């Protein structure tokens, strides 16, 4: 159910700000990885995936794609 005045964004019941917020967080996590912290960015992106998986599949896909990009930046020895 949408809050009064909200606009659906990519899924039933999802307010428009959720998509914009996901975009901001993906950009921030990408910047964190570029600043030399890909493991931390990946850890946080994984938490976002878990939180969004069932209720916001469109936003979940954004973080899932980020996780796949970040996985190439992490050395297997670092795991």
- What per-residue confidence (pLDDT) applies to 12? 60
Residue 47 in domain: yes
pTM for this prediction = 0.76
At a CB cut-off of 8 Å and minimum separation 6, what does 50 contact? none
pLDDT in tens, 5-60: 444 445 566 568 999 999 999 999 999 999 999 999 999 999 999 999 999 999 99
Segments of 1-79 assigned E as strands: none
Domain of 59?
Answer: 38-73
On whether residue 18 sits in a domain, the answer given is no
Structural domain contains residue 14: no
Instruction: Give the pLDDT confidence score for residue 75 in this predicted structure.
Output: 79
pLDDT for 15: 63
Token pair of 74 as six digits = 């992490």
Give the total number of structural domains in the chain. Answer: 1
Q: What is the pLDDT of residue 77?
A: 73
Give the model's pLDDT for residue 13. Answer: 62
């Amino acid at each position: 159910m949408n809050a009064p005045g909200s606009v659906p964004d990519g899924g039933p019941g999802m307010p428009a700000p959720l998509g914009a917020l996901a975009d901001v967080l993906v950009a921030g996590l990408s910047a964190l990885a570029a600043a030399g912290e890909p493991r931390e960015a990946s850890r946080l992106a994984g938490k976002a995936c878990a939180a969004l998986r069932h209720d916001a599949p469109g936003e979940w896909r954004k973080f899932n794609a980020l996780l796949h990009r970040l996985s190439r930046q992490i050395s297997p020895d670092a795991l």
